[in-house]
Structure 1
Amino acid sequence: MNRRELLVAAGGLGSVPFAGCIDDGSGAEEEATTGPGEDDEADAEPPFEIPTIDAPGSREGTITVPTEGRVTLVNFTRTECPTSEGVLGTIGEARDRLEDDYEFGPDGTVVFLSVTDETRGLDPTPAELADWWREHDGDWPVGIDENGRLNEYYGVAGFPAVAVLDGDGEVRWRDRGSMRAGTIAFTVEEAIEAESSANSD
């Protein structure tokens, strides 16, 4: 699908309304990040190593966010959030629109990654997260932001949230709430082309 077709698709699709699941307001995140030591300060800056689990479309290991030369779509999610569950279908549709034209995966030009933050909300085990992923038809890498640093660095205030990052970790686009598959696909394609152009200079 070319850019024009993506743009038309983005404009033609109705948006899916999501109220979103806000943070629990417990103050746990602020408390956990008060007075960091040297190791904590180092961990607070990219790149971040995100552990991934064995699940449909995902394998046990790690994904580096960001990775030079690659575009990364990060979906910040929560297993107990119905809107997080609902937006997975939108992300999957966007991925379907792009997979014939681009190489997906940690070694490709683009990777889609969903992450949970163990410091906010439920803290599922890898097995529980895999069951949830399977139940909601996830089909790309899914991992756990073990210390919440990725969420904190990108200022995630509620769930679900999506951010498209370039190879330097700069946010090319982000959204929380009403999302369209066409808009996500178009934005990812634009980020891939910009990354490719930057690498060829």
Structure 2
Amino acid sequence: MRRRDLIAGVGSLGILAGAGGVLWRGLPVGDEPPAADANGDEDTDDDSGGPIVLETIDATGSEEGTIEVPNDGVTVAMFFAPSCGTCQSLMPNLREASDQLNEEYGDDVTVVSITSNRSEDELREWWDEHDGNWYLGHDPGRSLGVSYRVVGYPVVIVVDENGEKHWHENGVLDARRIYYGAAPVLDEYRERTQAADDADDAEAEPSETDSEGEESGGEEPDGEESDGEDSEDETTDEDDESEDSAENEANEGVEEAETDD
């Protein structure tokens, strides 16, 4: 075999081995720097357009409607394909983690599994077969996956209320790993929420004090009017006494004049 043919053969084996690894583990989430577009500009995670609205399917633990990502809490999102065997293996672990997160954090956490293919009836059947019990999202345009540069299945990401992705993993993850990927983000979210509530309360307290002062100040004119009325009453009494005294003196003068006569 010629040297050139040998090198080409070895290169082909390397490509096949790499492809086999991708098929076995799935493609990873895109952590590498964003690729440049045709104009040379970098493609970044720009969520300036606001939250992405996902359609949700009427299924076990889910209801027909929409949810937003990000929302006013923390979102744990699993991207999957029904035909993916690894995705099927992840479902029981995600359910265990979802139950634990919901029990501890309640409405602060939203768990959703998202796919872009299959009809709703097929997805609903697959969902029941694999014991899904949280939001089932249908995203035919893969808008959320593109926004967070998700590649391959299954992938789990954790997004906060500001749309920032804090954690992501691909492959079959145990429930404990999923829980501890989301819990710190939820704790930080609660701390921020509590701090904001405390700040609002602190701003409200001076306003209440000012309001009480205004009410108290508004009563002072009544007191002044009352004092004025008392003063007027006293003046009237003095005038009455002066008139009585003058009248008495006049009467005494008349009596003296009659006596002299």
TM-score (norm 1): 0.72
The equivalent position to 1:132 in structure 2, one of 126, 136, 155, is 126
CA spacing shift, 1:22–1:173, aligned 2, 3 Å: closer
How far the C-alpha of 1:46 sits from its partner, in A, is 4.2
Question: C-alpha distance in 2, partners of 1:155/1:91?
Answer: 21
CA spacing shift, 1:195–1:97, aligned 2, 3 Å: same
| Runs of 4+ that moved beyond 2 A | 18-23, 42-46, 96-100
How far the C-alpha of 1:155 sits from its partner, in A, is 0.8
Partner of residue 51, structure 1: 55
Partner of residue 193, structure 1: 187
User: 1:52, 1:144 within 8 Å by CA — same for their partners in 2?
Assistant: yes
Tell me the amino acid that sits aligned with residue 100 of structure 1: E
For 1:106-125, what aligned pairs fall within 5 Å after superposition?
108-117=107-116, 123-125=117-119
Partner of residue 244, structure 2: none
Say which structure, 1 or 2, has more relative contact order (CA 8 Å, 6+ apart).
1
Partner of residue 182, structure 1: 176
- Cα deviation 1:42-97 (Å, max 9, x = unaligned): 999441100000111110000101113x0000000101111111111111111222
User: 2:54, 2:68 within 8 Å by CA — same for their partners in 1?
Assistant: yes
Report % sequence identity: 33
Partner of residue 158, structure 1: 152
- Runs of 5+ unmatched residues, structure 1: 1-17, 24-33, 35-41, 118-122
Question: C-alpha distance in 2, partners of 1:43/1:100?
Answer: 30
- Cα deviation 1:132-176 (Å, max 9, x = unaligned): 101111110101113111111111110000001111111111001
For 1:4-19, what aligned pairs fall within 5 Å after superposition?
19=24
The equivalent position to 2:99 in structure 1, one of 96, 100, 104, is 96
CA spacing shift, 1:19–1:90, aligned 2, 3 Å: farther
CA spacing shift, 1:45–1:175, aligned 2, 3 Å: farther
Partner of residue 78, structure 1: 81
Q: Which has the larger radius of gyration?
A: 2
User: 1:114, 1:143 within 8 Å by CA — same for their partners in 2?
Assistant: yes
User: 2:89, 2:172 within 8 Å by CA — same for their partners in 1?
Assistant: no
TM-score (norm 2): 0.56
- Cα deviation 1:95-149 (Å, max 9, x = unaligned): 222332221xxxx2101000002xxxxx211111101101111110101113111
CA spacing shift, 1:44–1:87, aligned 2, 3 Å: farther
